């Protein structure tokens, strides 16, 4: 099957799953009331949440440079930031496409080997998984009862009910969407296995090995640790400060912020565009455990998700624009030098 057709079908399948989850989130909710609550949001607190996001973005770009420097390449922080935001924007189209996009973009504008960049990104993702796991364990320690109830109500009970009501019309629709997505994922796996491009796989593994070596060659390991902590601290403040933007969630404490960071992180890790639907369900369900009505929790989740998505759209679009402008300037300068 043509690669372009596979990409389109994959995009459609993931989008259907995302909108299916979004429909589940809003199916028993008065949408007008939810959006009326969002309209009353305190913009100053929302701005504080967005500021925390910006700090996290630039700190991540700086940390990425720290992984690249040991290889002998020194891309500018601005170009690294542009590439990172371009990757975030690509993730809104197809999950995990962002990693390839940001590496491809930085490789093109800074002439850093693509495979090496992929290696550094894999190292980053591994660290992110470890950090999220650590936060889950810490949250489990301080909110054992709440987290246990959350997992029981959102994982174990739905699985039990799902087997009992498997042939319910709504469940059949959801099941069809999931099966549709799995079929195309399977097709993509078969396609990749049958391609026989072992040399590229070896090159990728070499890049991963180089990325792992870069951790040992860090010039300032403590700065790397500092930025790793800063990134996740800003992720926490993204949620915590946004609590105060809505009257219904303004009374929540830091424990709720930590819990929502974990629940939201799981939602954003779902293999759908921008965590759509999955984020809304997990965050709104999680807030119920803190005495927040589902509809109010959904208003918070929608406000958070929409503001962050809009920020990525703006910054990602501007990044692509600046990359194009800078590349055009370089082309014109090279043309001028050749003419001389």
Question: Which pLDDT tens digit goes with each residue over 212-228?
Answer: 666 677 788 889 999 99
What does the pLDDT look like over 39-90, one tens digit per residue?
A: 999 999 999 999 999 999 999 999 999 989 888 889 999 999 999 999 999 8
User: What is the spatial distance between Cα 134 and Cα 132, in angstroms, rounded to a whole number?
Assistant: 5
Sequence-ordered list of residues with C-beta below 8 angstroms from that of 221, at least 6 positions apart, any chain: none
| Closest to 276 (Cα-Cα) out of 8, 22, 11 | 22
User: C-alpha dihedral over 109, 110, 112, 118, to 10 degrees?
Assistant: -60
Counting the structural domains of the chain, the total is 1
**pLDDT at 191 (0 to 100):** 47
The SS3 of residue 324 is helix
End-to-end CA distance of the chain: 49
Domain range for 254 is 3-339
Q: What single DSSP character describes residue 70?
A: G
| Closest to 304 (Cα-Cα) out of 338, 263, 332, 251 | 263
User: What is the spatial distance between Cα 262 and Cα 259, in angstroms, rounded to a whole number?
Assistant: 5
**Verdict on whether the full-model pTM lies above 0.85:** no
User: What is the spatial distance between Cα 130 and Cα 145, in angstroms, rounded to a whole number?
Assistant: 23
**pLDDT at 47 (0 to 100):** 96
């Amino acid at each position: 099957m043509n690669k372009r057709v596979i990409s389109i079908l994959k995009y459609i399948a993931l989008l259907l799953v995302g909108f299916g989850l979004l429909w589940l989130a809003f199916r028993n909710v008065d949408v007008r009331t939810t959006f009326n609550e969002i309209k009353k949001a305190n913009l100053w607190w929302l701005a504080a949440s967005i500021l925390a996001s910006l700090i996290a973005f630039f700190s991540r770009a700086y940390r990425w440079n720290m992984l690249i420097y040991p290889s002998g390449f020194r891309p500018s922080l601005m170009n690294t930031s542009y590439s990172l935001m371009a990757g975030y924007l690509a993730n809104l189209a197809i999950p995990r496409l962002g990693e390839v996009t940001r590496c491809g973009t930085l490789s093109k504008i800074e002439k850093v080997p693509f495979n090496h960049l992929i290696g550094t990104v894999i190292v980053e993702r591994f660290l992110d998984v470890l950090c999220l796991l650590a936060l889950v364990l810490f949250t489990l320690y301080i909110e054992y009862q709440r987290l246990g109830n959350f997992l029981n109500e959102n994982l174990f009970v739905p699985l039990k009910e799902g087997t009992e009501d498997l042939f319910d019309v709504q469940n059949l629709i959801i099941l069809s969407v999931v099966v549709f997505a799995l079929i195309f994922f399977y097709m993509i796996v078969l396609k990749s296995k049958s391609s026989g491009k072992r040399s590229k796989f070896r090159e990728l593994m070499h890049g991963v090995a180089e990325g792992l070596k870069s951790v040992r060659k860090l010039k300032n390991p403590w700065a790397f640790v500092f930025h790793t902590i800063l990134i996740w601290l800003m992720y926490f403040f993204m949620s915590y400060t946004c609590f105060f933007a809505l009257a219904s969630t303004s009374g929540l404490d830091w424990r709720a912020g930590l819990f929502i960071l974990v629940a939201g992180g799981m939602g954003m890790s779902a293999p759908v565009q921008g965590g759509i639907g999955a984020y809304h369900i997990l965050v709104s369900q999680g807030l119920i455990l803190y005495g927040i009505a589902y509809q109010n929790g959904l208003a918070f989740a929608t406000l958070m998700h929409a503001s962050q998505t809009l920020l990525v759209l703006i910054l990602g679009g501007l990044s692509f624009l600046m990359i194009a402008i800078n590349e055009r300037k370089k082309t014109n300068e090279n043309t001028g030098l050749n003419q001389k």
